[in-house]
Amino acid sequence: MSRAQSPPPNPSPIEQQVLAAIRRAGHAGITSQQLAIQLGIRDKAQRYVVFDAIDALLDAGRIRSGKKGRYISSQNRDEAEGTIDIIASGGGYVRLEGDDKGNDVYIHPGNVGMALHGDRVKVRIGQGRGDRPEGRIMEVLSRRRTEFVGTIHKHQGRLVLVADDQRVQRPFLIAAADALNAREGDKAIIELGEWKDSRELARGRVVRVLGRAGEHQVEMHAILAEFGLPLEFPESVIKASEEIPNGCTPEELATRRDMRDTPTLTIDPDDAKDLDDALSLKRLENGNWEVGIHIADVSHYVRPGTVVDMEAAARATSVYLVDRVVPMLPEKLSNDLCSLNPNTDKLSFSAIFEMDEKARIKGEWFGRTVMRSRRRFAYAEAQAIIDGGEGDHKHEVLTLHALSQIMRKERIANGALEIGGNEVKFKLDEKGAPIGVYEKVMGPANWLIEEFMLLANKRVAAWVGKQKKGGVPPFVYRIHDLPDPEKVAQLRSLAKSFGHELTVNREDDLPHAINRLLTSIRGLEEEKIIKQFTIRSMAKAIYSTENIGHYGLAFEHYTHFTSPIRRYPDLLVHRAMAHYLAGGKHLEQGKLELSCKHSSNMEKRASDAERASIKYKQAEYLLARIGETFVGIISGLTTWGMYVELRANKCEGMIGLRDLPGDHYKFDQERYCVVGQRTGRKFQLGDEVTVKIRAVDMDKRTVDLAMLDASTAKRAGQPIAEWDETRPSSGGATQAERKKATAQSRERSRKALGKKKRR
C-alpha cells in the first residue's frame, strides 16, 4: 500500500537564515562562502552548519543549484514581469517588478523580440554568463509609448523612420498611404502600427511632419516630441485662459492681508518672464524684521477641473530647453495675470516671518495676500549692490542678504549638502546656431533668493506636520532618500585617487564629511568631477505624500510651495494649504499620490529633454571643429567608452574603448576605472587627456573623440580660473557645415539600415 509523500519539515533556525539570504540574492544566487560571511561565520571549521543547511534546503526543494556553486531560491520564478531598458548594444536589462535588490535580468540583443525601451514585458529567466541571470522576452504586456519621432530615410525604395531615441534601434517601415506627404530628410512623428514578427520591421503611420531635419526649430520640436512633451497648447486651453479675468477686484482684496505698503522686490534672471516670487521687508517696533515671501496665487486663477487646470496637471512642469521655455500655463497666466510684475497689484499666497537679527524665527503667518512689487532686479543688479555698489532698495537688498547668509551657514552646519553646480549655456545667433558657450555662475544674489525659498518650503511643510487632529493630513512633500552605499564607496575611492579623504565616523556624519571634502577641493581642477560624482551618488528627489524628509537639505519637513507658475505640485500645495488653513477635512491621499508620481515622472522627462537639447547644441557647436585638438577631463566611464569634457568649451564627447591606442582596454567596475589588459595603463575619472574631434553625428547628438596618445594622460589637480558668461567661447558651425553633417548622418543611417537588413 503506497503512502502519500509527507511535506518537508519546517526549516530549522539556521536553515531559515540561509534561506532568507538566498532569497535576498535573487536570480543571481549566492555561494556557500558568501552565505557564511553574511551570517557572520568567519571560522572555516564552523561552516559545516551552512553546508548542512544547504543540503537540507536542497532536499526539501526550497532551493536549487545554479552555475559556479551558486544557490538560488525555488521561489524565484522562471518567468517574471518587469520593465525593459534598452542599452547601446541593442540588448537590455529587465527591472523586475517587486524586486528592490537590483537583480536586473540581462537580455541579449537576439532575445529582445518586439520589446521597445520602457515597455512592460514578460521575461523567461535562465542563468547567463558569470553571476548574472539572463532572459528572453516572451511577451510585451504594455507599451511605454506608441509614438516616435525621427528622420525619414529611403531604404530599397521604401520610406522608413529612424528614431532619434538611440534606445529605439530598429527603424519603422512606412507605407506610401501612411506617409502624410513626408519625404526623405524630414523630421516626423509616427504612430506604431502592426508588428507581428520580430524578424520584420514594425510598421508606422506618420501623424505629423515637423519639417526638415537639421533646422533649429524642427530639432527643438523633435526633442519635445521624443520625450512626450507638448509642442503647443490646445486652442480650447488658450481660449479659456484668455477669458480668465484679473482677480484684483475690491471684493477679493477685502478678503486678503494687504502688503502693498511694505517695500517689496523681485530678483530673477534678466530674461525671466514668469515671476513666481517676491520678498518684502520692514522693521517692526520691537526691533525684529518682518520678512514676507510672496508667491504668485495661481490657485485663484486656475480652478480644479477646468481645462486650464487639466492641461497644467498633464504637463506638471515647465520645460527649459537651450533656447526656450515651454510653459506649464498659457502666456496670459504665466507672464501676465499670475506673474509678480512690478508696479502692479498682484494676488499672492504668502509666508510671513518675524525674524531677529540672527535670523531666528519668532513668529510665522501663512495666507492669501495682495502685494505690489516696487522693483524688479536682475540677479546681476542685486549682486552689484551686495558687492558694494549703489542702487535703489539697497537697504532691503543688503538686509535680506545678511539674513540669508546666516540661514545658509546654519543650514550647512546642520548637515545640508552644498553640491550645487553651474549651468552651461549657449549664445545663439538669429537662426538658433550656437556661436558661444558660457557658464552661468551662481553667487550670493542667487543664494539670497534660494535661502528664503527654502525657508518658505520648509515651514509650510512643517506647519502641515503640526496639524495632529485626526492624524497628520495628506499633503504633497518633496522627499530625498539616503544615498546608495555602493556609490558612496565609489565616491570615497574617487576622492582618494586625488589624494583627498571622505572620512565618515558614523552614518549621520556623511553630509558633513561630504561638505568637508567639497570645501577641501574648492578651486582645484578635480572639483567639478568630484561634485558631479557626488550628485550621481545621491538618490533622486521626488514628490510623495509619504514624508521621509529631505536628506540633501537636512530637513525633516520639506515641500515645493514657491513656484506654482512652473510646477504643478506647488499649485497642489497652495490648494491644500488654503483648505487646511480654513479648517477643511483631510484631502484624499490616493489622488494626491497619483499626482505626485505623475509630476515626478514629468520632471524627469523635462530634465531629459533639457539635456538632449544641450547635447544637440554641443554637437552642433563642435561641427566647425572636427579635426581640432583639445585638452579635456575624463567625466564618465562605461563598459563601452570614456566620456571627456573639453576644457575650452565644456562640451562633452566620447572615446570608444576599442579606439584607445596601444592596448586592449576594459572597464573595471570594482575599481571604477578603465585598464589596459597588456600594459596595465589605467584611466580614471578626472584624468586629463588630449583628444581630437573625430566625428559629429547630429542625428544621435553625439561627438566622437580620438585620444592622441594614451601615455600623455595625467592626473588633474591644478587650480583653475573661474569661467563665466563674461568670458564666453566663440564661434560655431556654419550653415554649410551643418548641412554636411546632416548628409553624413543620413549616409550613416543608410549603412546602418543595410547592416540590419543583412542581419
52 pLDDT band, cuts 50/70/90, is confident
Residue 43: what pLDDT? 74
Cα–Cα distances in Å, from 268 out to 54, 191, 378, 380, 450? Answer: 65, 41, 5, 9, 11
Residue 22: what pLDDT? 84
| Cα–Cα distance, 154 to 95 (Å, whole number) | 36
| Cα–Cα distance, 237 to 240 (Å, whole number) | 5
| Cα–Cα distance, 45 to 679 (Å, whole number) | 41
Query: Phi/psi of residue 265, each to 5°?
Result: -145, 160
DSSP 298-357: HHHHS-TTSHHHHHHHHH-B-EE-SS-EE-SS-HIIIIIISS--TTSEEEEEEEEEEE-T
Q: Which residue has the cell 592622441?
A: 708
User: Contact at 8 Å (CB) between 133 and 99?
Assistant: no
Q: Is the pLDDT of residue 51 over 90?
A: no
| Cα–Cα distance, 151 to 130 (Å, whole number) | 39
Q: What's the pTM?
A: 0.82
Cα–Cα distances in Å, from 40 out to 13, 355, 485, 734? Answer: 15, 54, 20, 65
Tens of pLDDT along 466-511?
987 888 999 999 999 988 888 888 888 888 888 898 887 765 678 8
| % of residues, the chain, pLDDT over 70 | 89
| Cα–Cα distance, 88 to 117 (Å, whole number) | 11
Helix (H, G, I), strand (E, B) or coil at 110: helix
Helix (H, G, I), strand (E, B) or coil at 3: coil
Q: Is the pLDDT of residue 544 over 60?
A: yes
20 pLDDT band, cuts 50/70/90, is confident
Closest CA relative to residue 605, chosen from 247, 226, 294:
226
| Domains, the chain, ordered by start | 13-73 (1.10.10.10), 79-142 (2.40.50.140), 235-419 (no CATH), 452-613 (no CATH), 626-728 (2.40.50.140)
Tens of pLDDT along 690-736?
999 999 999 889 999 999 876 666 665 433 333 332 223 334 444 45
User: Contact at 8 Å (CB) between 260 and 345?
Assistant: yes
